[in-house]
Structure 1
Amino acid sequence: MTLVTGVVVLDCAEPEKLAAFYKELLEAEETDASANRIEIMGAEGTRMAFRRDVNATPPSWPRPENSLQVHLEFRVDDLDAVERMVIGLGGRALETKDAGGPFEERGYADPAGHSFTLFRVMPTAPKQH
Structure 2
Amino acid sequence: MALVNAAVVVLDCAEPEKLAVFYRELLDGQDGEASANLVEIRTPGGFRIAFRRDVNATPPSWPRPENSLQAHLDFLVEDLDEAELRVVGLGGRPIETKDAAGPYEERGYADPAGHSFTLRLVPPTAPKQG
Relative to the length of structure 2, the TM-score reads 0.88
Partner residue in 2 for 1:121? 122
Q: What SS does structure 1 have at the residue aligned with 2:96?
A: coil
CA offset at residue 123 of structure 1?
2.6
Partner residue in 2 for 1:71? 72
Q: Tell me, in whole angstroms, the C-alpha distance in 2 between the residues paired with 1:119 and 1:75.
A: 5
Unaligned runs of 5+ in 2: none
Matches of residues 12-31 of structure 1 in structure 2 within 5 Å?
Answer: 12-31=13-32
Relative to the length of structure 1, the TM-score reads 0.88
Deviations 1:80-119 (A, max 9, x none): 0010000000000002568xxxx81000000000000000
Structure 1 runs of 4+ with >4 Å offset: none
Give the RMSD, CA atoms, in angstroms: 1.8
Q: Which amino acid aligns with 1:107?
A: G
Q: How many residues align structurally?
A: 124
Partner residue in 2 for 1:55? 56
Identity of aligned residues (%): 71
Deviations 1:5-62 (A, max 9, x none): 1110000000011000000111111111111100111122211000000000000001
Partner residue in 2 for 1:111? 112
Q: Which amino acid aligns with 2:56?
A: N
